[in-house]
Amino acid sequence: MPLKTMEYRLNKIAELCSEIGLKTDMPDKNRIDVSIREDCVLSFLNLVDENDTLVGFDGTPWHSHDKIYFMTGSNAYIECDELDIIIGLVSGELLIVSRYLESTLADRWIMHKNEPLDLKYFEAGEELRICRLA
């Protein structure tokens, strides 16, 4: 019997977002979409058939599973569950990075505000936008 992975507490995410003023939508019982900004939706999914979870931004390739580890320095990191991610975003501890190529959104991810930003593979025409919510 395969090990059961954690499940995101979607109802708790909805409650927390309601308390702090973020809009949410639950298209089905295994998914919640959190509207961070008008053009930025963070989705949390319980993939029941795959015994997995997924968090990511709609329309971008970046995603993660279960809890997420964020670097906070060269040899340090923090572990965040789904509620920690929301709290981190609204407190300003976590940032949203959007990567654009030729003015088109190519990717979007979350990083800790103390994580070193590696730019050695930065391409011509590439642009990074970093958003801090608080």
Kindly tell me if the per-residue pLDDT of 2 is higher than 70. Answer: no
Confidence band of 12 (pLDDT split at 50, 70, 90): very high
| Residue 4 counted as domain residue | no
Domain holding 64, by residue range, is: 10-131
And the tokens for 33? 């979409």
| Number of domains within the chain | 1
CA atoms within 13 A on the CB side of 73: 2
Is 125 inside a domain boundary?
yes
Inside any domain, residue 2: no
Q: Is residue 17 part of a domain?
A: yes
Is 92 buried (19+), middle (13-18) or exposed (0-12) by CB count in 10 A? Answer: exposed
Name the most confidently modeled range: 4-8, 83-87, 122-126: 83-87
| In-domain check, residue 33 | yes
Least confident of 13-17, 41-45, 64-68: 64-68
**Looking at the domain assignment, is residue 15 inside a domain?**
yes
Beta bridge partners of 99: 107, 128
115 Cβ neighbours under 8 A, 6+ residues apart: 70, 71, 72, 73
Burial class (CB in 10 A: 0-12, 13-18, 19+), 100: middle
Q: So what's the pLDDT on residue 1?
A: 44
Cα angle value 24/40/43 (rounded, 5°): 50
